Amino acid sequence: TIFEAPHDEL
Amino acid sequence: MNIFRLLGDLSHLLAIIILLLKIWKTRSCAGISGKSQILFAIVYTTRYLDLFTTFISAYNTFMKIIFIATSLATVFLMYVKFKATYDHNHDTFRIEFLILPAFVLALLINHELSPVEVLWTFSIYLESVAILPQLFLVSKTGEAESITSHYLFALGSYRGLYLFNWIYRYYAEDHYDLIAIVAGLVQTVLYCDFFYLYITKVLKGKKLQLPA
C-alpha cells in the first residue's frame, strides 16, 4: 500500500 | 513500531528535555533561536490536529500531547519568562520565508486536498526547514555552547533515524509515504554540516566554534 490515512507516525 | 522509529522518537524527546533543562537550569535561553522554536510549535500544533479525529495508540496520543505541550512551553519560556536573556539581535531569520512557501507547496503537493491533510503536509514541509533559523543563529555568532550542540545532535538524529524506519517499513510492511520521506531527507541533509562539526569537535571535548 502506498500511503493511506491516517498518519500513524509522529 | 520498529526500533528505528522508537529510537527516533526517544531522540526527539531527549532533544526537547535537553533544551528545556538548559533553559530552566541556566535561567537563560542565550544561543537558542526563538524563531526555530516558534516554527516547531506551529509544526506540532498543525500536525497533531488528528488528536481530535483519530486514535492510533496510547503511545501515539501521549507523545503528540507531549510534543505540543513542550513546544508551547519552550516558546513561553523564551518569549515571556526568560525574555531578557533571548538573543534577539542575532535571531534575525525571516520565518515568513519558510512558512509561506511551505504552505503553498502543501496546497500543491499533498495526499488529499482537505484542510486537515493540507495542514499535516504543511507541518511536514515546515519541519524539514524549521531548524534553519537556529543554524543561522549559530553561524552568525560563530559558536554554540556544548549543551546547545547536544540538543541539535539529538534533534537531527531523530529524523535521520526515521529514514531507517521508512526503509524498514518499505520492505517489511510495503508501506511508504513519499511526502514524509522526501521532507525527512531534506531535514536530515540540513544537519549534515553540523553533524560533522559535532563529531569532530564537540565529542572530543572542544567547543563548537565555526572557522572565522
Encode pLDDT of B53-73 as tens digits.
889 999 999 999 999 999 999
Portion of chain A with pLDDT greater than 90, in percent? 40
In terms of residues, how long is chain B?
212
User: Would you say residue B169 has pLDDT above 60?
Assistant: yes
Contact A8 B9 (CB under 8 A): no
For B6-62, the pLDDT digits (tens) are 999 999 999 999 999 999 999 999 999 999 999 999 999 999 999 988 899 999 999
DSSP 3-state assignment of B144? Answer: strand
**Unique residue bearing C-alpha cell 552568525:** B140
pLDDT at position B38: 98
Using an 8 Å CB-CB cutoff, list chain B residues near A1.
174-175
pLDDT at position B117: 93
Please write down the long-range contacts of B11-14, taking CB distance under 8 Å and 24 or more positions apart: B11/B154, B11/B155, B11/B157, B11/B158, B11/B161, B12/A10, B12/B67, B12/B154, B12/B155, B12/B158, B13/B63, B13/B66, B14/B154
Residue A7 is classified by DSSP as P
Return all residues near B12 (Cβ < 8 A) that are at least 6 apart: A10, B67, B154, B155, B158
| Least Cα separation, residue B140 to chain A (angstroms) | 31
Decide if B7 touches A, using CB distance below 8 A.
no
Residue B201 is classified by DSSP as T
Check: CB of residue B143 under 8 Å from CB of residue B105.
Answer: no
> Distance between CA B7 and CA B162 in Å, rounded?
9
Residue B50: which of A1, A2, A6 has the nearest Cβ? A6
Using an 8 Å CB-CB cutoff, list chain B residues near A6.
50, 53-54, 56
Portion of chain B with pLDDT greater than 90, in percent? 92
Contact B178 A5 (CB under 8 A): no
pLDDT at position B153: 97
Query: How do the domains of chain B map onto residue ranges?
Result: 3-205
Using an 8 Å CB-CB cutoff, list chain B residues near A9.
5, 162, 165, 180
Please give the mean pLDDT across all residues of chain B.
96
For B131-152, the pLDDT digits (tens) are 999 999 999 999 999 999 999 9
> Distance between CA B49 and CA B103 in Å, rounded?
16
Residue B175: which of A1, A5, A6 has the nearest Cβ? A1
Using an 8 Å CB-CB cutoff, list chain A residues near B54.
6
pLDDT at position A1: 43
Q: What is the ipTM of this complex?
A: 0.85
